[in-house]
Amino acid sequence: MPWTNNLGPDPFDPDAAVALADFSQAEYVTTYNAPPGQNANQTRKAYKFVTYVSANGTWRICVVADIHIAAGVFRAGHTWIPGWENWEAQTTAANLATVSGLANVGTFPGDSRYPQLQPQITDNWEEDKDDPDFNSTIGILANQTPPAPKPLPLSPPSTSTAQGNRPIAKYFVFNETGNILIASTVDGKSALTQAAQDLFQEVSVFFAALTKALSKTPRDGVTNPTNFMDYYTLYDYEPMEAIIQQSGMFIAMNREDYIFTQNAGSATFNTDLIASVLGFAVTDGADIAALTNVLRSMGKQAVVSYNRTGKTTKMGHLTFICEYLLGMPMVSVEYYSIDEDQVETVVNVGPCVSTTTEAINLAIHKDTFMFVPPAWIAKYSGDLGSVADNAQFQQLVSELAAYASGAPVVVSVKDGKQDDVGPTPDNIVATLTSGSSYAIEGINFGSPGTTFTGTVSIGGVAQTMAKTGWTDTSITFTAVKSTTPGQTATGPVVVGLGDAANTVVSGTTIYSVA
Classify residue 303 by burial, with Cβ atoms within 10 Å: 0-12, 13-18, 19+.
Answer: middle
- pTM to 2 decimals? 0.47
Which is more confident, 139 or 420?
420
Chain centroid, CA 8 distance in Å: 43
The 10s digit of each residue's pLDDT in 346-379 is 554 444 444 455 566 667 778 888 887 664 444 4
Section 32-59 average pLDDT: 79
**Whether residues 69 and 175 fall in one domain:** no
Whether the predicted pLDDT of 132 surpasses 60: no
Section 177-188 average pLDDT: 77
The answer to whether residue 396 is domain-embedded is no
The answer to whether residue 389 is domain-embedded is no
Q: 329, 351, 375: which is the final residue of a domain?
A: 375
Which is more confident, 174 or 435?
435
Q: 375, 396, 422: which is the final residue of a domain?
A: 375
> How many domains is the chain built from?
3
**Whether residues 371 and 250 fall in one domain:** yes
Section 94-111 average pLDDT: 91
| Residue 154 pLDDT class (50, 70, 90 cuts) | low
pLDDT at 382: 41
pLDDT at 422: 81
The answer to whether residue 347 is domain-embedded is yes
**Whether residues 222 and 348 fall in one domain:** yes
Q: Which long-range contacts (CB under 8 A, 24 or more apart) does 94-97 make?
A: 95/21, 95/23, 95/65, 96/67
The answer to whether residue 385 is domain-embedded is no
The answer to whether residue 271 is domain-embedded is yes
pLDDT at 268: 58
| Residue 19 pLDDT class (50, 70, 90 cuts) | very high
Whether the predicted pLDDT of 297 surpasses 90: no
**Whether residues 311 and 416 fall in one domain:** no
Total Cβ atoms within 10 A of residue 173: 12
**Whether residues 466 and 351 fall in one domain:** no
Domain of residue 367: give its range: 171-375
Section 328-343 average pLDDT: 77
**Whether residues 356 and 418 fall in one domain:** no
**Whether residues 356 and 470 fall in one domain:** no
Report the chain's mean pLDDT, rounded to a whole number: 75
Whether the predicted pLDDT of 286 surpasses 50: no
Percent of the chain with pLDDT over 70: 67
* DSSP classification of residue 424: B
**Whether residues 285 and 428 fall in one domain:** no
Per-residue HEC secondary structure of 126-154 comes to: HHHCCCCCHHHHCCCCCCCCCCCCCCEEE
pLDDT at 471: 87
Which is more confident, 40 or 476?
476
Which is more confident, 142 or 28?
28
Strand partners, 362: 260
pLDDT at 143: 40
**Whether residues 259 and 345 fall in one domain:** yes
The answer to whether residue 127 is domain-embedded is no
Distance CA 290, CA 282 (A): 12
The answer to whether residue 242 is domain-embedded is yes
**Whether residues 412 and 364 fall in one domain:** no
Section 115-137 average pLDDT: 55
**Whether residues 351 and 467 fall in one domain:** no
**Whether residues 189 and 271 fall in one domain:** yes
Q: 74, 89, 114: which is the final residue of a domain?
A: 114
| Residue 49 pLDDT class (50, 70, 90 cuts) | very high
The per-residue DSSP string of 359-410 comes to -EEEEEEEEEEEE---GGGTT--S-GGGTTT-HHHHHHHHHHHHHHH---EE
Looking at residue 495, which CATH number applies to its domain? 2.60.40.10
- Residues 388 and 213: beta-carbon distance below 8 Å: no
The answer to whether residue 198 is domain-embedded is yes
